[in-house]
Amino acid sequence: MGKIRHLAIRTEDTGKLASFYMEVFDLTVLHKGREEGGAVFLTDGYFNLAILPNDSQNSPNGLYHFGFEVDDADKVIEKLKKLNISKLPKPRDKAPFAETRASDPDGNYFDISEHGFLDLKPPEEKEGS
């Protein structure tokens, strides 16, 4: 069973929005981008909230994608192929939070990860790799 483990929101002011969620829901910073106004990843210890800068003129602020942690990403990808989903998963090289991204029939993006979302190391840097 896949577990929903993160949600990403786009915003014009990542610091302001991150502060809001930290103040209201006592979330803590899991990871911050190096540049001012960059991404801020918050957590409650189980679920993560990614606050991402909206640097696109064509995309609205708000919900951007959500992410599932699964035991076997290949099985999920095979299920998507059988359903003839038009936007099949694309590998995300060295992404620290998900190996693959796909979309549902309505175009809503979701990430697929076997290694989880709390450990922000890229998959090849994990133990045993």
CATH number at residue 89: 3.10.180.10
Positive or negative torsion for Cα 46, 51, 56, 58: positive
Q: Determine the structural domain holding residue 12 and report its residue range.
A: 3-125
7-44 pLDDT per residue, tens: 999 999 999 999 999 998 899 999 887 788 899 999 99
Residue 12 and residue 54 in contact, taking contact as beta carbons nearer than 8 Å: yes
Number of folded domains in the chain?
1
State pTM to two decimals.
0.72
Positions in the chain whose pLDDT score sits under 50? 120-129
